Amino acid sequence: MALLQISEPGQSLDPHQRRVAVGIDLGTTHSLVAAVRHGVAECLPDEQGRVILPSVVRYLEASAGGSGRQIGFDALAAQVDDPANTISSVKRLMGRRRDQVVDVDKLAYTVVEDSGMAQIDTVAGRKTPMEVSAEILATLRYRAEDSFADDLFGAVITVPAYFDDAQRQATKDAAKLAGIEVLRLINEPTAAAIAYGLDHGAEGVYAVYDLGGGTFDISILRLTRGVFEVLATGGDSALGGDDYDQALAAWVLQQQGIAADSLDASARAALHKEARRVKEALSAAPQENFRAMLRGRVVEQTVNVADFEACTEALTARTLSAVRKALRDARIAKNEVQGVVMVGGSTRMPVIRRVVGEFFGTDPLVDLNPDEVVALGAAVQANALAGNSKDGDLLLLDVIPLSLGIETMGGLVERIVPRNSSIPTARAQDFTTYQDGQTALALHVVQGERDLVADCRSLARFTLRGIPPMAAGAARIRVTFTVDADGLLSVGAKELISGVEASIDVKPSYGLSDEQIAKMLQDSFSTAQQDMAARALVEARVDGDRLLVATRSALAADGDLLAADERTTIDALMAEVQARLGSEDAAAIEAASEALAKGTEGFAALRMNRGIQQALAGKKLEEV
Ligand code: ADP
Ligand code: MG
What distance in angstroms lies between residue 91's CA and the mean position of ligand 1's atoms?
Answer: 16
CATH topology assigned to domain 21-239+315-396:
Nucleotidyltransferase; domain 5 (3.30.420)
Burial call 273-307: b when 16+ CB within 10 Å, e when fewer: ebbbebbbebbeeeebebebebeeeebebebebeb
Q: If 0-12 CB within 10 Å is exposed, 13-18 middle and 19+ buried, where does residue 418 land? A: middle
Whether 127 is a known active-site residue: answer: no
* Cβ contact 478:494 at 8 Å: yes
Which atom of ligand 1 is nearest the CA belonging to 31?
4
Residue 69 parent element (H or E) = strand 69-71
- Please name every residue paired with 293 in a beta bridge, in sequence order, or none if there are none: 298
- Which residue puts its alpha carbon closest to atom 8 of ligand 1? 212
Give the CA count within 13 Å in the CB-facing half-sphere of 556: 6
Q: Are 210 and 234 in contact (CB under 8 A)?
A: no
Task: For residue 273, give every residue at least 6 positions away whose Cβ sits within 8 Å of its Cβ, in sequence order, or none.
Answer: 80
CATH: 3.40.1050.10, 2.60.34.10, 3.20.20.140, 2.40.30.10. Which one for 400-516? 2.60.34.10
User: What is the distance of C-alpha 71 from the center of its chain?
Assistant: 23
- Which residue's alpha carbon is nearest to atom 25 within ligand 1? 280
- The CATH class of 528-616 is mainly alpha
Q: How far apart are CA 595 and CA 244, in angstroms?
A: 18
Catalytic residue (one of 164, 210, 236, 486): 210
Mutate to test the pocket of ligand 1, among 216, 288, 346, 347 (most ligand atoms within 8 A of CB): 346
The DSSP letter of residue 399 is B
Atom of ligand 1 lying closest to residue 345 CA: 12
Q: Are strands 117-122 and 110-114 parallel, antiparallel or unpaired?
A: antiparallel
Pocket residues: Cβ below 6 A from ligand 1: 27-30, 212-215, 240-242, 276, 279-280, 283, 344-346, 348-349, 371
Q: Is 37 helix (H, G, I), strand (E, B) or coil?
A: strand
The segments of the chain whose pLDDT lies below 70 read: 1-17, 63-67, 225-226, 390-399, 401, 409-410, 420, 422, 485-487, 506-532, 534-535, 611-624
Domain definitions of the chain by residue range: 21-239+315-396, 241-314, 400-516, 528-616
Beta strand spans in 264-312 (E): 287-294, 297-304
Name the DSSP class of 15.
Answer: G
pLDDT the model gives residue 291? 95
- β-sheet bridge partners, residue 566: none
> Which residue type, as a one-letter code, is found at position 2?
A
Q: Which CA distances in Å does 64 have to 9, 58, 59, 61, 122? A: 55, 13, 10, 5, 14
- 369 CB burial (10 A radius; 0-12, 13-18, 19+): middle
pLDDT in tens, 405-464: 988 766 778 889 887 676 777 888 888 877 788 888 888 988 887 777 777 888 888 888
**Given this model, what pLDDT does residue 519 score?**
64
Sign of the Cα torsion 316, 321, 322, 323 reads positive
Q: How confident is the model at residue 453, as a pLDDT? A: 78
Cβ atoms of residues 597 and 576 within 8 Å: no
Q: What CATH number has the domain spanning 241-314?
A: 3.90.640.10
Residue 27 alpha carbon, nearest atom of ligand 1: 4
DSSP helix, strand, coil percent of the chain (3-state; round to 5): 45, 25, 30
Return all residues near 568 (Cβ < 8 A) that are at least 6 apart.
none
CA angle 268/272/277 to nearest 5° reads 150
Q: Residue 115: CB partners within 8 Å, gap ≥ 6?
A: none
Nearest residue to 518 via CA among 234, 278, 261, 239: 234
Ligand 2 mean position, distance from CA 513 (Å):
20
Q: Whose CA is nearest to atom 18 of ligand 1?
A: 345
CA distance 426 to 386: 21
106 part of the active site: no
Beta bridge partners, 503, equal: 492
Q: Whose CA is nearest to atom 2 of ligand 1?
A: 212
Q: Which of 316, 332, 24, 318 is nearest to 207 (CA)?
A: 332
Tell me, in angstroms, the distance from the centre of ligand 1 to residue 344's CA: 6
pLDDT for position 70: 95
Residues lying with their CB under 5 A of ligand 2, a single-atom ion: 27, 212
> What atom in ligand 1 is closest to the CA of residue 242?
14
Q: Whose CA is nearest to atom 20 of ligand 1?
A: 345
494 in active site? no
DSSP H helices, 79-187, are 129-148, 165-177
pLDDT of residue 615: 58
Pairing of strands 53-54, 30-37: antiparallel
Q: Is 25 a catalytic residue?
A: yes
Confidence (pTM): 0.64
Q: Which of the following is catalytic: 46, 135, 164, 188? A: 188
Closest CA to 418 of 395, 397, 401, 431: 401
Q: What is the pLDDT of residue 315?
A: 96
Residues 6 or more apart whose CB falls under 8 angstroms from that of 244 comprise 279, 312, 315, 346, 349
Largest CA distance in the chain: 104
Residue 283 Cα: closest atom of ligand 1: 24
**Å from CA of 309 to ligand 1 middle:** 16
- CA-nearest residue for atom 23, ligand 1, is 280
Question: Residue 157 belongs to what H/E stretch?
Answer: strand 154-159
